[in-house]
Amino acid sequence: MNDLTERQKRILKQVIDGYISSPDPVASRTVCKDGHLQFSAATVRNEMMELEEKGYLSQPHTSAGRVPTDQAYRFYIDYLMELERLSGEEEKRVAEIRREYEQKRQKIKEVLKNSSQLLADITNLPGISLTPIYAQTHFHKLNMVSLGEGRVLILLLTREGIVRNLLIQNDREISQERLDDLAVLFNKKREGFKLEELKSEMERFLEEDRECRQMMTTLIDALNKNIESMTHGQDIMVEGASRILGLPEFRDSGKLKMLLELIENKEELIELLNRCISSEGVKVLIGSEMDIERMRDFSLVFAPYQIAHRRCGSIGILGPTRVNYSKVISAVSEISRKLTEILESL
């Protein structure tokens, strides 16, 4: 796609930078005002016409100016853009994510929620995060604690550091010694299984010991339901969605309705965000690149995060195609890196 002359690249960059700064179509005379280019008005006008013929610019019928296409944004990100560093205050806020976590010992969803909110604050766009793929996480061990009067606290720990607590009520008292024996027996044979495989293992466990079957049916059934809820699917958290209302692109009620449907239905966003989990670094999807008709006016900028050295979720922003990619990519990169640091320490 790198089929542009150096002059065309400079003019295209000027057009895109100008359009990102202001939503008005960019005219050739606006480009000429940049003293760095030093091209004549006729040269700029001709080059912009050629950029339009090559598919990098389009001309709204109501304006003499031009706007970048999805192809232009892709070229800009891949070849022309210089990353914008976060401000000192923004870097300080990113660093404070870990401090806040250590002080409050938040759960994973709380960390994701706060990280998405910070991303929204920095970019002024909705911050979104995809919860971990619990079905693909690996069982580490069970702990069972007797609380008396038939109550049992179950702690399920995965290799990725995810902990689930479950309190059940048994018809009969079970001694702590018996609970410890059962936990050891179960952990010995199932360590490393994926959670999605664990339900059948629970049923097999009931068949191994008559006494276990009598005493533990309630406990195992409750644990199965908990595992099923964990592996049922992923969820998306969206923070700062109202920020989109201030953007001129969403004065069109149709586009705003489309955005709200995307956020509410979630399935398409989950599919798109899962695309980046196996890749490294920040991924940018622009409009038509997503092959989803109602995403044609939107962009996604997101990156994976890791737990126990495994990529299992992602975080990023949802916005129009006209966003400050330089700033957004830097913010997503920094916050996903800090998020991984926190989750790796769980």
CATH number at residue 162: 3.30.390.60
Residue 339 φ then ψ, to 5° = -65, -40
Burial class of residue 99 in the structure, from the number of CB atoms within 10 Å of its CB (0-12 exposed, 13-18 middle, 19+ buried): exposed
The CATH number given to whatever domain includes residue 68 is: 1.10.10.10
Residues 43 and 143 in one domain: no
Q: What is the mean pLDDT of residues 89-103?
A: 83
Q: Does 319 fall in a domain? A: yes
**What's the Cα-to-Cα distance from 216 to each of 113, 168, 219, 285, rounded to whole Å?**
36, 11, 5, 49
Report which residue type is found at 166: L
Which pLDDT band, with edges at 50, 70 and 90, does 102 fall under?
low
CA distance 203 to 228: 13
Helix (H) or strand (E) holding 134: none
Same domain, 315 and 245: yes
Domain final residue, candidates 231, 258, 273 = 231
Could you tell me the sign of the dihedral formed by the alpha carbons of 93, 98, 99, 104, in that order?
Answer: positive
Q: 70 and 103 share a domain?
A: no
Q: Is 28 in the same domain as 72?
A: yes
Regarding whether 239 and 125 lie in a shared domain, the answer is yes
- For residues 65 and 58, give the distance between their C-alpha atoms in angstroms, rounded to a whole number: 9
Domain-located, residue 216: yes
Nearest to 129 by CA among 24, 238, 247, 54: 238
Same domain, 127 and 239: yes
Residues 65 and 21 in one domain: yes
Residues of the chain with pLDDT > 70, as a percent, come to 84
Backbone angles phi, psi at 151, to 5 degrees: -85, 135
Residue 6: the pLDDT is 95
Say whether both 126 and 258 belong to one domain: yes
248 and 319 inside one domain: yes
- Please say which residue of 204, 231, 258 terminates a domain: 231
Greater pLDDT, 276 or 316: 316
Same domain, 223 and 258: no
217-250 confidence digits (pLDDT tens): 766 676 666 666 555 567 788 999 888 888 888 8
Q: What is the pLDDT of residues 56-81, one digit of tens each?
A: 999 987 667 999 999 999 999 999 99
Range of the domain at 282: 88-131+235-344
Asked if the structure places residue 327 within a domain, the reply is yes
Both 109 and 256 in one domain: the answer is yes
Q: Is residue 31 part of a domain?
A: yes
40-52 pLDDT, tens digit each: 889 999 999 999 9
Q: Is residue 1 part of a domain?
A: no
Flag whether 170 is in a domain. yes
How many domains does the chain fold into? Answer: 3
Q: Mean pLDDT across the stretch 169-175?
A: 77
Find the CATH number of the domain harbouring 308: 3.30.450.40
According to DSSP, the β-strands at 127-130 and 298-307 are unpaired
Residue 196 domain flag: yes
Does residue 38 form part of some domain? yes
Q: Give yes or no: residues 37 and 181 share one domain.
A: no
Which one of 200, 231, 262 terminates a domain?
231
